[in-house]
Structure 1
Amino acid sequence: MGETISQVLVHKYLGIWFDSKGTWGCHVRYLIKKCQQRVNFLRTITGSWWGAHPGDLIRLYKTTILSVIEYGCFCFRTAANTHLIKLERLQYRCLRIALGCMHSTHTMSLEVLAGVLPLKDRFWDLTTRILIKCEVLNPLVIENFDRLVELHSQSRFMTVYFNHMSQSINPSSYISNRVSLLDTSDSTVFFDTSMMKETRGIPDHLRVQQIPKIFFNKYRNINCDNAFYTDGSLLNGSTGFGIFNNNFTASYNLDNPASVYVAELAAIQYTLGIIETMPTDHYFIFTDSLSSIEALRSMKDVKHSPYLLGKIREHLSALSAKSTQITLAWVPSHCSIPGNERADSLAKVGSINGDIYERPIAYNEFFGISRQKTLLSWQASWDKGELGRWLHSIIPLVSTKPWFGRLDVGRDFIRVMSRLMSNHYGLDAHLSRIGLTNSSLCVCGQGYHDIEHVVWVCTEYCGARSQLLDSLRARGIQSNVPYGNNKLLMKSP
């Protein structure tokens, strides 16, 4: 009381630097300085041929650097491009370190290879999510935006709000994430994911023949009338679920937004409701949704579909009280397990013309709309870009997962393949383009010194080429030399 409030050009509030002109230059400089030491740490734990796995480095970037950059983006996402480009360069630098790519690699190619959203798209996604959350938890923010529309309807800051209002976002009243947890010592509820281990390593072309036999041998002693198969399906933007039992079938549609994960949980909840009306016994629910089983088994608070998870746990508790045993078992999808295939067909029917399965929709279920719009924006930029076309021909669709996400390979392989896929590697054909060599021709005199020439034509690598082809033939892969003299393959190095 009674103190004079001083006027300053910049002021830090809740970790964000506000400046009097609203340019956000001070905050961007603050972020770069704060992240510099963390970027240097990434460099110290990796090198060209040694160091941490690229997947670990990308995760480390997201948790220690990207989390700092994106904090408060609700405010500064409308900063001038001259400031935002500095943050984008920081991301490019980190991804280049993680993947081991050359400095000349196209920036958008780095993001596609690493499965990391461009910062502008990421900022848009996070800002939209905040507005969706405020619809339920802090409606005063929405009211303030409504007032701002009257004053600054043409402002860049209002673009994301106009987009938000154009969406059909009507979340139900607040649903707490705190759900009653299952008693893990309860002997009436079981989780069986053993088929993951028993089917691991089966080649794709043999799964349809071998997995049904494994399933039958494993569960041949259970009462077929006590076996329920559940599945979820997403067709043409519509989601549904199906349930199959020898004496009962069901198929329902879910109001949007609804993911396959939500549909799987809804199917399990509906099935447990049916089992509650049946005599006390041991019942099996087979699902191909591992995430559903893990969410039910988890002892942590959940962020997604708390209503359905809460209802499922209530059903399980009620069944446990009457000594009914429930086993939730995972089965692989699309492997010709009859019950699972029938449930899949019913789920497709439900997604197309099934009756609506009523449920409250939590605000975080609408986050998928924001993410889908963000991915479409990223995809459009990737399709319309003028650079990185070589990689576009290999990875035409963007993804939030790195290209090597499902491969069990080391850093050396990822580094080499990332360079080859981006068409930026240490051979003369590329080095001449960036002015590091005078000629793009190979010393063998057979053509340009690029990767195709080295693998298929160059006489310097005939021995290694023969080993490569022998290895491919041993794996049953027929490889044809795209060009060049096939007799070169028979020469000794």
Structure 2
Amino acid sequence: MFYKSIIRSLLDFGLILYGQASRTELKKLVTFSNKCLRRIIGALPSTPITALSAEVCEPPLPVRLSKLAVNKIINLHHSGSFLLAKIAALTEAFLTEKHWLKNNSPPIVSAFLAVTPDIHSVHKSNISPTLKLDYPRATTSLTTIYLRDYSEYPPQIVNELFMADITTAVPGSQLIFTDGSLLEGQVGCAIYDPSAKVEKMFSLPSQASIFTAEMYALVCALEYIATLKGTRFAVVSDSMSSIKQLERFHPNSKCDYLVTRIVNIVCTLRHRHIQTAFCWCRGHCGIKGNDKVDQLAKRATTAGQYQDIKLPKTDAKRTLNKRLVEWRNWYNSGTAGNFYKSLHPELRSIPWFATSKFG
């Protein structure tokens, strides 16, 4: 606790600035950090650094440096900070001026170059999306329903059970099924209206996450509902995380702009006396509508109508996963600690003692 709150926080705070120091100077900090970690877990001085790093789930300092710098660039872009223009100017100077030929690349410049190809697709907002809503909309409660797990029932009766549950939960509602898909680096989503036999497929930027695809499918479903004449609708999704996100919405929510976009559309529909409910139904259980929209979403990754949407900054932070790949490669390529790696071939996300109670 002391290491994370005091020592590591101080190292992280200045890492972007001192990260271009000479390797000799940086090595002193790496050695100091490793000594702290050895003391914390009681490791012997002979314990290989790769094993030490894996045991405490702490990436080596150079990887942390790269990860923090990328994170900083993404946050600056998302908030529209003026500092991003200064970093861009510094990057241009680094690439064109002779002064930098004999100097190490500043970490913030390396990060800027790494994320520049994708960063312009990130949604910009200098305030929380919920603060852009007026009070009635910010305090809106969305209707969410969780249907039973139909995988526990015989396939012959799951569709009858599903319709019976829907009739009870949202009587008289027209069903709209939604789904998102991520296949071979391509992203798409789809909606399906079984009563009107309407199918809509959309392809999304390849940087989008599956969560964003699921959320955008809900947006598309609501926009489709706005064109219909009915007054009661149920949007069915197999994405538990999406429905949970809507259920947890409140004025202080830390949510992305797609959630507030959904809230805005729902409120607009309510003003027109159109009621919408969001239903979770486990996928791949034999529900005809779910299976149909699942197929459409997969096709949408390559054949859907392209939607050049702005992505939440959480999607841009997928770039950070590349830094964790660097850690994994460093862990696997080291010659020391082979016995430890034979016992723990994969890096953990949290240390084994994270949930332990001491004393």
Normalising by the smaller structure, the TM-score range is 0.7 to 0.9
Letter matched to residue 176 of structure 2: F
Match of 1:373 among 292, 309, 322: 322
Q: Does 1:161 align with 2:109?
A: yes
Q: 1:404 to 1:316 in 2, by over 3 A?
A: farther
Letter matched to residue 374 of structure 1: R
Match of 2:276 among 315, 326, 332: 326
Q: 2:118 is paired with a residue of what secondary structure?
A: coil
Q: 1:334 to 1:162 in 2, by over 3 A?
A: same
1:480 is matched with which residue? none
Equivalent residues of 1:253, 1:350 under 8 A apart: yes
Q: 2:65 is paired with a residue of what secondary structure?
A: helix
1:239 is matched with which residue? 187
2:120 is matched with which residue? 171
Q: 1:292 to 1:394 in 2, by over 3 A?
A: farther
Q: Does 1:75 align with 2:17?
A: yes
Q: Does 1:123 align with 2:65?
A: yes
Q: Larger Rg: 1 or 2?
A: 1
> TM-score scaled by structure 1?
0.58
Q: Which is further off, 309-318 or 165-174?
A: 165-174
Q: CA deviation at 1:363?
A: 5.1
Q: Does 1:298 align with 2:244?
A: no
Q: CA deviation at 1:252?
A: 1.2
Aligned length, in residue pairs = 335
1:190 is matched with which residue? 143
**1:21-420 superposed matches below 5 A:** 38-39=2-3, 61=4, 66-79=8-21, 80-91=26-37, 93-94=39-40, 96=41, 106-112=48-54, 115-135=57-77, 136-137=80-81, 138=83, 139-149=85-95, 150=97, 151-158=99-106, 161-162=109-110, 164-165=112-113, 167=115, 168-171=117-120, 174-175=124-125, 176-179=127-130, 180=133, 189-193=142-146, 195=147, 199=149, 207=152, 209=154, 212=158, 215=162, 217-221=164-168, 226-246=174-194, 247-296=197-246, 297-301=248-252, 305-306=256-257, 308-361=258-311, 365-369=315-319, 371-390=320-339, 392-393=341-342, 395-398=344-347, 400-401=349-350, 411=356
Q: CA deviation at 1:274?
A: 0.6
Q: CA deviation at 1:162?
A: 3.9
Q: CA deviation at 1:131?
A: 2.7
C-alpha separation in 2, matches of 1:113 and 1:335: 39
Gap regions ≥5 residues in structure 1: 1-34, 40-60, 413-493
Letter matched to residue 338 of structure 1: K
C-alpha distance after superposition, 1:465-490 (max 9, x if no partner):
xxxxxxxxxxxxxxxxxxxxxxxxxx
C-alpha separation in 2, matches of 1:77 and 1:294: 40
Equivalent residues of 1:117, 1:400 under 8 A apart: no
> TM-score scaled by structure 2?
0.77
C-alpha separation in 2, matches of 1:342 and 1:93: 56
Q: CA deviation at 1:278?
A: 1.6
Gap regions ≥5 residues in structure 2: none
Equivalent residues of 1:304, 1:364 under 8 A apart: no
Equivalent residues of 1:134, 1:142 under 8 A apart: no
Q: CA deviation at 1:311?
A: 1.7
Q: 1:154 to 1:411 in 2, by over 3 A?
A: same
Q: CA deviation at 1:270?
A: 0.6
User: What percentage of residue pairs aligned between the two structures are identical?
Assistant: 21
Q: 1:91 to 1:357 in 2, by over 3 A?
A: farther
C-alpha separation in 2, matches of 1:367 and 1:183: 29
C-alpha separation in 1, matches of 2:254 and 2:176: 27
Letter matched to residue 386 of structure 1: T
Equivalent residues of 1:171, 1:362 under 8 A apart: no
Q: CA deviation at 1:339?
A: 2.6
Equivalent residues of 1:178, 1:301 under 8 A apart: no
1:22 is matched with which residue? none
Q: CA deviation at 1:178?
A: 2.6
Q: 1:300 to 1:76 in 2, by over 3 A?
A: farther
C-alpha separation in 2, matches of 1:332 and 1:254: 23
C-alpha separation in 1, matches of 2:334 and 2:38: 17
Q: 1:278 is paired with a residue of what secondary structure?
A: coil
Q: CA deviation at 1:267?
A: 0.5
Equivalent residues of 1:233, 1:347 under 8 A apart: yes
Equivalent residues of 2:178, 2:192 under 8 A apart: yes
How well do the aligned residues superpose, as a CA RMSD in angstroms? 3.7
